[in-house]
Amino acid sequence: MKSTVAKILFGCALASLSLSASARDCVAPSNKPIIPDGHVASKDELLAAQDAVKAFQTRNLEFLVCLDKKREALDPEAAGSAETLAKYQAQEDAAIALEQAVANEFNTARTNFMER
């Protein structure tokens, strides 16, 4: 139990260290939060996972804002701009899909926890 909470908190700490670099470089957050099994997790583990999910969502939003800024700064007449826009769109779609998957996983764990 304590090791799961420690892992989640460690992951959050690492993520916060890379937060400013991620936004500047438009690097999608790759460290998906660890969601405990709601059937057996303690309340503290679930709350730590909730904090990790919120931190992940914040990093993901910063990534999406960064992509928007890059998209706005792109000259539509420049060579390769259509391919670049398509790349940004694919990155955005993947980031949104991952965030939805993380939220669904957490919501399932929370539901399982509440049904015990």
Q: What sections of 36-80 are H helices per DSSP?
A: 43-73
pLDDT digits (tens, 9 = 90+) for 32-53: 999 999 999 999 999 999 999 9
By the 10 Å C-beta count (0-12 exposed, 13-18 middle, 19+ buried), 13 is classed as: exposed
Please, which pLDDT band fits residue 103 given cuts at 50, 70 and 90? very high
Per the structure, how many domains does the chain have? Answer: 1
| Spatial contact of 29 and 22, defined as CB atoms under 8 Å apart | yes
Q: Whole-model pTM?
A: 0.75
Range of the domain at 25: 2-114
pLDDT digits (tens, 9 = 90+) for 9-35: 445 444 444 443 333 479 999 889 999
